[in-house]
Chain A
């Protein structure tokens, strides 16, 4: 894509020249502005930090604080004229009842499995696109893969139903080929869930992997080959460590997304594949008036995921540092 950008920008003097940049830099108000903003590294930092700090505190934290508050109340929305009481009861329910914890653990296991499966499936695809396909066709072939993702989750999920149903495309094909007599029940199993979820997550893994592999110079691998490293060693010692960044961000993305999935597991899952998002939605959906418990369960979920992601991030960072040293 823009691999020329760094090389050329580094080679020529970035400032000056008869371009628009030169004019900008020579423009007096601009100079005054830069002098004001960049007077000291300290000021520079505060100006850089101010907006994100205000944003995350007001926009990211605001709704969460709202949810936290609800999770500690005994009734919400409150019946008029009644003061809500604060309570820990909503959290206790989670620890009291095993049947709430089953979907919770299942979700974490599912998310981990799907993340790994997606990684294994999409890595060769990204590798193929960046290392084997010519630069000319690369973007086009990547865009080809993006097309199906513009179909909404629900419509796509129904398409998977008519693909895998007892009277679906796959079974009809197998029957026509004479391979089976009775249809194979693909639907409402772990298999159908996997097909549906990996479909949704693949993109979120593919793009970070693609961008990590794409910026990795081919010469690295060639140099290693010159030094006598076999293909597997080359991959393990050169390519893999240098794409850890992309792997980490892809994994986090997919993990985040697959813990929150609701529609696909509900539609494609069987009687024993309930995920936690479904349990949480149940408090808003059927009963409709158990917001506090739903909010408490959501808090449990998101704090767990947050901790896991932070630990994972730290682990990947240490791994990367260890490797480049």
Chain B
């Protein structure tokens, strides 16, 4: 980078100062010092520090943030707290809604109470996965997708046009992927519906497809270096040159690119899946009114969305958020129309059937 180097926190701080002046009036006029508090469970940096300070100063509502590091743990924790959760807002990945809804952990979102709902790009706010049982359940904030990432010094963009490069002999023992996610992608690659919604009425067919995908990955197990779990792992593998090509989420790869590493990512021609992180209001949370005040405030300015993108590498769902990003940040968080054409969203309808089949398959692949 040619810009002067700051620590990440300080960098955010300077960017935030601009945001503060921009978004200040919008929040202030509606909310007259309510006081109290709001409890938010979210990932590190999903609530920008500067926004939090400003929000607290203007509304008198104290924001308590509880840091979570994965969806499963958050679900378990919230489930362990029912029926009287301490959380008002949780951060759920859209395709996991159903699990939370089925366990009565979320309250339907009353979008009429959010004056800034319109600031969200309709691609996300009005998408089909966002409505379940006739209700909206969360405010989309960041969007991620399953991508193919590769070391540009070794792998050519041409090779990376297909998921097949992950299984090429040429790169044997230099690849890595998350098996669960890879199962969906393999199903898609083999010409099936990786969401399995199409097979809801035909469990036998669903089982056969999962079996086929499982066998596909077992046959190619000798070629893989590592089945990994977290974004930090795949980043470190690229830095350490343990792998040259891998499946990953766009967020961690975008931050690698922004740091100047010779890495790029793409959505291969077979297509891929996307997901959306949303802020959700919990069922029976202690401060529901403050939760809405918080949601409305955080949706107020596209600059807040840009800050989230900068910290996480995921793509903002806010209209115009990209305007506030630097060129390299914009580049690392955008895809061509051709790539996006192959993208579809994860859907939750068939999750129970899907994961009932996929989870044992994953264990079988690991044990094979």
Contacts and interface: CB of A to CB of B under 8 A. Distances in A.
A100 interface: yes
Nearest to B180: A286
A321 to B, nearest CB: 42
Nearest to B79: A77
B156 interface: no
Q: Name the interface size band of chain A.
A: 35 or more
Contacts of A183: 241
A77 to B, nearest CB: 4
A103 B367 contact: yes
Contact of A274 (B96, B239, B367): B367
A208 to B, nearest CB: 33
A165 B242 contact: yes
Given A77-B82, A289-B103, A274 B242 contact: no
Contact of A271 (B72, B82, B239, B366): B366
Interface string A85-98: 00000000000011
Interface stretch (A210-218, A277-285, A305-313): A277-285
B117 interface: no
A56 to B, nearest CB: 24
A158 B234 CA distance: 12
A282 B83 CA distance: 25
Interface string A222-233: 000000000000
Nearest to A98: B367
B104 A165 contact: no
B211 interface: no
A34 B336 CA distance: 84
A116 to B, nearest CB: 25
A267 B233 contact: yes
A222 B136 CA distance: 81
A185 B242 contact: yes
B363 A100 contact: yes
A283 B72 CA distance: 9
Contact of A288 (B72, B82, B237): B72
B221 to A, nearest CB: 6
Contacts of B226: 187-188, 270-271
- Majority secondary structure, A binding face: loop
A158 to B, nearest CB: 7
B359 A290 contact: yes
Contacts of A279: 363
Interface in A157-190: 158, 161-162, 165-168, 183, 185, 187-188
Given A161-B236, A271-B221, A289 B99 contact: yes
Nearest to A283: B359
A80 B104 contact: yes
B76 interface: yes
A324 interface: no
B345 interface: no
Interface in A67-101: 77, 79-80, 97-100
Instruction: Point out which of B237, B239, B363, B368 has the most chain A C-beta atoms below 10 A from its C-beta.
Output: B363
A79 B363 CA distance: 26
A270 B221 CA distance: 11
A215 to B, nearest CB: 44
Contacts of A165: 236-237, 239-242
B242 A288 contact: no
A185 B225 CA distance: 10
A285 B221 CA distance: 23
Contacts of A97: 360, 363-364
A310 B99 CA distance: 41
A188 B225 contact: yes
A271 B104 contact: no
Interface string B338-368: 0000000000000000010001101110111
Interface string A179-205: 000010101100000000000000000
Given A166-B242, A290-B359, A285 B72 contact: yes
Contact of B76 (A103, A267, A278, A284): A284
A288 B233 contact: no
A291 B360 CA distance: 15
28 contacts: A77-B79, A79-B102, A79-B104, A97-B360, A98-B367, A99-B360, A99-B363, A99-B364, A158-B236, A161-B240, A165-B239, A165-B240, A165-B241, A166-B240, A166-B242, A168-B240, A185-B242, A188-B242, A270-B225, A271-B221, A271-B225, A279-B363, A282-B359, A286-B180, A287-B359, A288-B72, A288-B96, A289-B103
Given A103-B366, A187-B226, A187-B240, 17 more contacts: A79-B102, A99-B364, A99-B366, A100-B363, A100-B367, A161-B240, A165-B237, A168-B240, A266-B229, A270-B226, A271-B225, A272-B366, A274-B366, A285-B72, A286-B180, A286-B362, A290-B359
